[in-house]
Amino acid sequence: MATAHATQRRPAVLGDLLPGSLARDAALVAGAAAFVGVAAQIAVPLPGTPVPVTGQTFAVLLAGAALGTGRAALGMLVYLLAGIAGVPWFTDGTSGAGFPTLGYIIGFVVAAAAVGRLAELGGDRTPLRTVGTMLAGTVIMYAAGVPYLMASLHVDLAKAIDLGMTPFLAGDALKVLLAAGLLPAAWKLTGAARR
């Protein structure tokens, strides 16, 4: 009876639709880190701020929703640690610590885990729930990135918000809406049972 129940278990996140277990999970974790690394290279500098517009945050949100809590957090941790160790895949092709946007990258770990957990609970199955899930992840990234930016640039909170959040709100809203269209559509295409 337990075996029959296990085979009928609904997938919690899109990554669960792939066959395998340990090898699949390792590939998904490495793939998530690489996906964010590639997305980081899509960067547009903005005048007056050290924070560019990138594809990173969108990649983090998608990885979180697709992989679930543990795999998504581990993927972002691999991205962070590999970058600090020397892989030149942070936004400007650099590696290592000591730059003002590192706080956002630290926030990727927590944001991916939170988005992953919300997705496991069905937070990516409908457009409205997906908007809430993606907004939560975005807020977490700002909550980590803005204070780090403030400390690294020695500016007050209002200035850090002006440099590291305000110019990006419209773009992040667009990313949230795009995810709200993509993720529920992906579930519909797979034909997996809805929650």
Question: Residue 5 has what pLDDT?
Answer: 43
Question: Residue 195 has what pLDDT?
Answer: 47
For 103-160, what is each residue's pLDDT tens digit? 999 999 999 999 999 999 988 888 999 999 999 999 999 999 999 999 999 999 999 9
- Degrees (nearest 5) of the Cα angle 182, 40, 85? 130
For 44-90, what is each residue's pLDDT tens digit? 888 988 888 888 999 999 999 988 899 999 999 999 999 988 888 88
Domains, the chain, ranges and CATH? 21-188 (1.10.1760.20)
